[in-house]
Chains A and B, each alone.
Chain A
Amino acid sequence: MGRYVLRRILVSIPLLIGISIITFVVINMAPGGPIGVASDMNPKATAEYRERLKAYYGLDQPVHVRYIRWLGRMAVLDFGDSFSLDGRKVWDKIKERIPVTLLINALSMSLIFLIAVPIGIYSAVRKGSVFDRISTVAVFTGFAIPTFWLALLLMILFGVHLGWLPISGLVSLEYDALSLPLKILDRAGHLVLPVFLAAFGGLAGISRYMRSNMLEVIRQDYIMTARAKGLPEKVVVRRHAVRNALLPVITIFGLSIPGLLGGSVIFETIFAIPGMGQLFYQGVMSRDYPLIMGILTIGAFLTLLGNILADVGYAVADPRINTERAG
């Protein structure tokens, strides 16, 4: 087992480098560059200024030299300085966005699993029932409705007409003057709509996945055996079926790990939440290469980590998987 994990980690390193080379080359190939943001269409920006700025950002060097420099910095976990005008460290910029994005994603993901798994199980057990049909329609509606549109409708209802919930942002303007319980309440109020919407759109995937797993399991011989030996249906479903049907969900869990830090641009834009999605979008639009590379590298790292964790988790949960030969 230990050797298996170690091998997976070692294999991941060249993979990570490969990903970084491709992303580095691709973002540098995109038209425009960080210089253009300040100088395109600006009559006061002279050719000399452009050259100076290029040297300032090290863009006068060829791509491979810049990549090697970047890699050298990354080796000591230095993400470099952002190309944006504030010139802050990339890591500082990412760091301050992580808590918000992580909180919203963790909450909505828990909500998704908490709701979708029971829905999936119940739909499978009562396949074709009224509940099955209604839940199918409901989760697919959630999947199909454009989030930004539903978000606006809910903002109008709860924010403007009823006045129950704040419309956007993370905290109220009076936040600093509030007492601790009110502070918590204020933050929670701001999270209700974004978390609900993020979860609503994600129910379909997990619940359908759970349902089909469950249907698969129920058809197995050992379930029939369990029923045949006279176990009550509850015990059959809970102890024998659900456990086995949940196994593949571990994989989904693992694959969700990079999603914890990946924010949604549309979402964060509409709720004015300063999260990772907006940061990345702004980075791309202003061709802030170090920032883009930083976020993509973290994403790639988490994806590989998630894969390893999913495989390891699977191996732990299902002893039939031979970790010595799998690779």
Chain B
Amino acid sequence: MRRRLFRRFAFPVLIAAAFLAVAAAGCFGPGGKSTEDESSAFSDIPAYGDSIIEGSIGDVSGFLSAVTSDSASHAAAGYVFNGLVRYDKNIELTGDLAESWKVSPDGRKIVFRLRAGVKWHDGAPFTSEDVLFTYRKMIDPKTPTAYGEDFKQVTKAYAPDPLTFVAEYDRPYAPALASWGMHILPKHLLEQHPDISRSPLNKKPVGTGPYRFTDWKTGEKTVFDASPDYWDGKPYISRVVTRVIPDLATMFLELKSGGIDLMNLSPLQYTRQTETKQFKESFKKYRYLSSGYTYLGFRLDHPFFADRKVRQAIAYATNKKEIINGVFFGLGEEATGPYKPGTWAHNPNVMRYEHDPAKAKELLAQAGWDRTDATGTLINKEGKRFEFTVLTNAGNKSREQTVAIIQQNLAAVGIRVEIRTVEWAAFINEFVKKRNFDALVLGWNITPDPDQYDIWHSSKTAPDELNYIGYVNAEVDQLLENGRRTFDKERRKKAYFRIQEILAEDQPLVFLYYPDALPVVHKRIRGIEPAPAGISHNYVKWYVPAEQQRYKSFQR
């Protein structure tokens, strides 16, 4: 989740929203406000015990996050394992297994000071040897990991003493720090397994995290129990059960009947199906921006879209407010660029495109689309009609509805849009990778680190690479390079602010919206502190007051 940029609503089997993780992946926004006030007749004293049952649409595929790529697996691994660093509630990097770290003045060396006294769940001590082992596994060709690239940048890694770990680079690489959030693996249990994905640990993990692995029934549930000697204090809630419920309607019924305690709501459920008194008595809803945005992207070497004025005109013609209100019942925010409002990299003062069909027509006329044919469609000097196809992936209702609204919006200024929805794998392989599209509606996840080199740099346009719109801008290239070659936040901020200005003006894609994350949690669970990072950043500190505990039989 943390390391993936792409939002794959298309693929419910794999996106597998285990909701704690979705929230943890960074959901900021204006204060992360909860929708109603805490009111309780019960005492509010933290107590150990009880279970929390969460719903997930997908099953775990393995517990070693280095070799899995779906969010259900990453969420499950997050209970059991720790990295050296993690993102805190304000989406700032903070120590996890590392107590502290130091970046050398030239930015080429990171020295991690590890937490003392940390033990693996089997009692063995955690040391810098484990970190070194994890690093070696990440760059080992026998490890089928998609996350090895950041670690290959390391030129030298060593463990001078049991509590110190050093990584050296040949030049400063800012995203490197976040890459040490990779879960650290137990050397003593994995040493004898050349391929960690085939090791027993991928099915029965042993980690350093707040919860210990207890049970995994494939397709049914995973069970974790609180680790009594967790270095950050034993978690209050004794057991976490993740139930696999692939259908969201079923999941919602399970929530209402008490079968699960936590899930993510759809905008429809949030606004229309949860406003009853009965529901509010038992549940508390939360709302904050999720870390992703949806966009209308153009193939920039297409004759229609090579002209910036045309792209700007389409941005003016698109009614983002209508999309948010119509598709998300108002639960989202207009997007202005590739970073999330409220985070340090986000530049709030970029050019905005308020809905303005007149201005759109004016810009189109300037670009040579100054006459219409009998059907009211714009034509240019050569008599070419302004019509194109917008692709999106099938099975994602909100995107399909978004495209339909865009089609209406553009028809109003004389542009004819055909809509085509395609199954995910075919969509990627036959259209995106082959650059076989006019325009498409897709989404990107926003990672906590603002480095988006792979999306915008002009060198990243090969078939498997992600700048598939073909965006080329020398200044942006330089700024992307600057941004990742320094650890100085102010300098990075400057680079990313300027990138957002350029992107806003250039509109290589029309930034449409940031949807809201809408988790709901049973009211007996206390200690939830909504923050820019969502609600799950402090789940270890969640608790249920003694007299409200529901699942006594699980207690130990």
The residues of A that contact B73 with a CB separation of less than 8 Å are 85
Interface pairs (27), CB distance under 8 Å = A32-B425, A32-B429, A38-B146, A41-B4, A42-B6, A42-B69, A46-B148, A52-B141, A84-B61, A85-B62, A85-B197, A87-B202, A97-B219, A152-B249, A160-B257, A163-B257, A166-B259, A167-B259, A169-B220, A173-B51, A173-B241, A173-B243, A174-B553, A272-B220, A274-B59, A274-B217, A285-B425
Smallest CB gap from B63: residue in A: A86
CB <8 Å contact, A37 and B69: yes
B residues neighboring A (CB under 8 Å) = 3-6, 8, 11, 13-14, 51, 53, 59, 61-62, 67-70, 73, 141, 144-150, 197-198, 202-203, 217-221, 241, 243-247, 249-250, 253-254, 256-257, 259, 424-426, 428-430, 453-455, 462, 464, 466, 551, 553
CB <8 Å contact, B69 and A272: no
The residues of A that contact B241 with a CB separation of less than 8 Å are 173
Quick one: which of B69, B243, B425 has the most chain A CB within 10 A?
A: B425
Smallest CB gap from A158: residue in B: B257
Q: How far is the CB of A114 from chain B (nearest CB, A)?
A: 28
Smallest CB gap from A273: residue in B: B219
CB <8 Å contact, B254 and A168: yes
User: A53 vs B59: C-alpha distance in the bound complex, in angstroms?
Assistant: 22
Interface residues of A in 5-61 (CB under 8 A from B): 30-33, 36-47, 49-50, 52-53, 56
Smallest CB gap from A268: residue in B: B246
User: A53 vs B247: C-alpha distance in the bound complex, in angstroms?
Assistant: 31
> A36 with B428: in contact, given A44-B146, A159-B253, A271-B250 (CB under 8 Å)?
yes
CB <8 Å contact, A272 and B14: no
Q: How far is the CB of B501 from chain A (nearest CB, A)?
A: 23
CB <8 Å contact, B149 and A44: yes
User: A249 vs B198: C-alpha distance in the bound complex, in angstroms?
Assistant: 48
User: A279 vs B150: C-alpha distance in the bound complex, in angstroms?
Assistant: 34
A318 within 8 A of B: no
CB <8 Å contact, A49 and B148: yes
The residues of A that contact B464 with a CB separation of less than 8 Å are 39, 45, 47, 50
CB <8 Å contact, B430 and A31: yes
The residues of B that contact A135 with a CB separation of less than 8 Å are none
> A160 with B219: in contact, given A85-B69, A155-B250 (CB under 8 Å)?
no
Smallest CB gap from B58: residue in A: A282
CB <8 Å contact, B146 and A87: no
A residues neighboring B (CB under 8 Å) = 30-33, 36-47, 49-50, 52-53, 56, 84-87, 93, 96-97, 152, 155-156, 159-160, 163, 166-170, 173-174, 177, 268-272, 274, 278-279, 281-282, 285-287
Closest 3 CB pairs of A and B: A274-B219, A32-B425, A41-B6
User: A85 vs B464: C-alpha distance in the bound complex, in angstroms?
Assistant: 21
Q: How far is the CB of B7 from chain A (nearest CB, A)?
A: 9
CB <8 Å contact, A168 and B250: yes
A/B pair count, beta carbons within 8 Å: 152
CB <8 Å contact, A44 and B67: no
Partner of B146, one of A30, A49, A86, A168: A49
The residues of B that contact A282 with a CB separation of less than 8 Å are 13
The residues of A that contact B249 with a CB separation of less than 8 Å are 152, 270
The residues of A that contact B59 with a CB separation of less than 8 Å are 274
User: A32 vs B425: C-alpha distance in the bound complex, in angstroms?
Assistant: 5
> A285 with B11: in contact, given A85-B61, A274-B244 (CB under 8 Å)?
yes
Partner of B243, one of A38, A86, A159, A272: A272
User: A85 vs B202: C-alpha distance in the bound complex, in angstroms?
Assistant: 9
The residues of B that contact A31 with a CB separation of less than 8 Å are 425-426, 429-430
The residues of B that contact A177 with a CB separation of less than 8 Å are 553
Q: How far is the CB of A288 from chain B (nearest CB, A)?
A: 11
Q: How far is the CB of A167 from chain B (nearest CB, A)?
A: 5
Partner of B246, one of A30, A85, A269: A269
CB <8 Å contact, B149 and A46: yes
The residues of A that contact B148 with a CB separation of less than 8 Å are 44, 46, 49
> A278 with B426: in contact, given A37-B14, A173-B241 (CB under 8 Å)?
no
The residues of A that contact B5 with a CB separation of less than 8 Å are 41-43
Q: How far is the CB of A92 from chain B (nearest CB, A)?
A: 10
The residues of B that contact A85 with a CB separation of less than 8 Å are 61-62, 67-70, 73, 197
User: A167 vs B148: C-alpha distance in the bound complex, in angstroms?
Assistant: 42
Smallest CB gap from B451: residue in A: A43
CB <8 Å contact, A86 and B553: no
Q: How far is the CB of A16 from chain B (nearest CB, A)?
A: 28
Q: How far is the CB of A27 from chain B (nearest CB, A)?
A: 12
Besides A269-B246, A285-B11, 16 other CB < 8 A contacts? A42-B3, A43-B5, A44-B146, A44-B148, A45-B149, A85-B61, A85-B73, A97-B219, A156-B253, A169-B245, A270-B249, A272-B246, A274-B220, A274-B244, A278-B219, A281-B13
> A286 with B553: in contact, given A32-B429, A41-B428, A163-B257 (CB under 8 Å)?
no
User: A173 vs B243: C-alpha distance in the bound complex, in angstroms?
Assistant: 9
CB <8 Å contact, A43 and B466: yes
CB <8 Å contact, B254 and A274: no
Partner of A285, one of B13, B67, B462: B13
> A159 with B69: in contact, given A45-B146, A86-B62 (CB under 8 Å)?
no
CB <8 Å contact, A272 and B141: no
